[in-house]
Amino acid sequence: MYVGVCRLTLGIPESHSLKEKRRRVRSIVERLRVRHKLSVAETGFQDAWQTAEIGISAVSGDASLARKLIQAAIDYVETEVHDVSIIEEDIDVIDLS
C-alpha cells in the first residue's frame, strides 16, 4: 500500500481578511475532495490573510498512481483555480508494505 501526500502553500493576494481567505480555501478544499476523491484539509497559516497551506493525500496499491493522483490535484489548482498561486509544493509517496 502506498500513501501519496502533498503539502501545498498557496498565495491568495486578493484576500483582504481572514474570513475572505477561509471562504476561498474552503472552496478549494471541497472541490479537490469532490472532483479528485482525495483527502484534503487546511493545515497551516490559519492566521495569515494571504497565505494558506493545504495537505492532500491519496491511498493506492501502486506508487505511480498515488503520485499521479496528487499531481492531478496540483495541476487542477494551477490551471482552474484563478486568483491563487502555488508558492511551494512538497510531494512524497510512502510505502507502507
What would the mean pLDDT of 2-30 be, rounded to a whole number? 96
Angle at 40 between CA 65 and CA 20, to 5 degrees: 140
Residue 84, φ and ψ in degrees, nearest 5 = -135, 135
Q: What is the pTM of this model?
A: 0.90
pLDDT at residue 48 in the model:
94
What is the reported pLDDT for 11? 97
Per the model's pLDDT, the better-predicted residue between 82 and 58 turns out to be 58
Task: Indicate if the pLDDT at residue 17 is higher than 90.
Answer: yes
pLDDT digit string, tens, across residues 31-80: 999 999 999 999 999 999 999 999 999 999 999 999 999 999 999 999 99
Strands 39-44 and 51-60: antiparallel
What pLDDT does 20 receive? 95
CA distance 32 to 5: 14
pLDDT of residue 33: 96
Q: Which domains does the chain have, with CATH numbers?
A: 2-95 (3.30.70.1120)
